[in-house]
Structure formats: structure tokens, C-alpha cells
Amino acid sequence: MNCPLCNEKTSLGAEYCIAHANALENLKQAFHLWTTAFGTLTVPDFLHRLEKLPGTGNKTREIARYLLENPSRWT
């Protein structure tokens, strides 16, 4: 199977390449921290805000855009 974002090979049974899988895991952890800091925050709002931050890495931006277009992939 190949990563839907970059077309790299994935590990057996994995949905994303290692870089995008790590970015997704970091996003999910950060979301919990952001909801604590900002209060009520929806996933789309979080992803939009994250995209605008200058320090956000390329892989994170890519997975954020992908999740905005495919919200069911967040779970």
C-alpha cells in the first residue's frame, strides 16, 4: 500500500508513510493540548490555525490539508 499524500510505500497494514503517520500522531497530541489552552476548539479550526503557523513543517501541513479535505480520516 502507498501513502495517500506522498505515494511512498507504507509499512504492512499502515495507512500512511512513517513521516505522515508521525505528523498525524503529533497533530492528535497537539489537539488535546490546544483544546486545554483555547477551550472549545473544533478539529477543522485547529487544522486551519496550524496551517497558518510559520513554524509548521511540510509534512504536518500536508496531513492537515488532507484531513481538512477528508475529515473522516481524523479518527
Residue-wise pLDDT tens digits, 9-38: 998 889 999 999 999 999 999 999 999 998
User: In this structure, how many other beta carbons lie within 10 angstroms of the beta carbon of residue 32?
Assistant: 9
> pLDDT value at position 18?
94
> pLDDT value at position 21?
94
> pLDDT value at position 75?
75
Taking CA 55 as the corner, what is the angle to CA 54 and CA 56, rounded to the nearest 5 degrees?
95
Residue 24's Cβ-count burial label (10 Å; 0-12, 13-18, 19+) is buried
**Predicted confidence (pLDDT) per residue in 66-75, tens digit:** 999 999 998 7
> pLDDT value at position 33?
93
> pLDDT value at position 60?
94
